[in-house]
């Protein structure tokens, strides 16, 4: 069962590290990875409230990552348009 404890420790460490990030994109990716590990860890231990909570965090992180990617795409498109029409001054 040592490998299971290792997964729990890695997931917990990633969760803490994710909360120390200044960049939202990195925070969300690390938090998603941590929550996925903790879903597996808690499911193996049959700690269902923690499985549900971490699964919810996974969904929240995935939604926010999608929104960040969409906003980034729109920003890049707007920057390209401003360069093409000369409004970058």
Six token digits for residue 16:
């803490």
| 10-15 long-range Cβ contacts below 8 angstroms, 24+ apart | 10/37, 11/35, 11/36, 11/37, 11/38, 11/41, 12/38
Q: What is the pLDDT of residue 78?
A: 74
Nearest to 18 by CA among 50, 51, 65: 65
Indicate the DSSP class of residue 22: S
Q: What is the pLDDT of residue 41?
A: 98
- Residues constituting the chain: 89
- pLDDT tens-digit map of 13-65: 999 999 999 999 999 999 999 999 999 999 999 999 999 999 999 999 999 99
pLDDT band at 79 (very low <50, low <70, confident <90, very high): confident
């Amino acid at each position: 069962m040592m490998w299971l404890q290792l997964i729990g420790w890695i997931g917990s460490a990633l969760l803490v590290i994710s909360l120390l990030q200044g960049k939202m994109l990195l925070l969300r990716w690390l938090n998603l990875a941590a929550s996925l590990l903790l879903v597996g860890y808690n499911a193996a231990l049959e700690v269902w409230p923690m499985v549900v909570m971490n699964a919810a965090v996974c969904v929240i992180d995935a939604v926010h990552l999608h929104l960040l990617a969409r906003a980034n795409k729109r920003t890049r498109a707007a920057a390209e348009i401003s360069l093409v029409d000369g409004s970058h001054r």
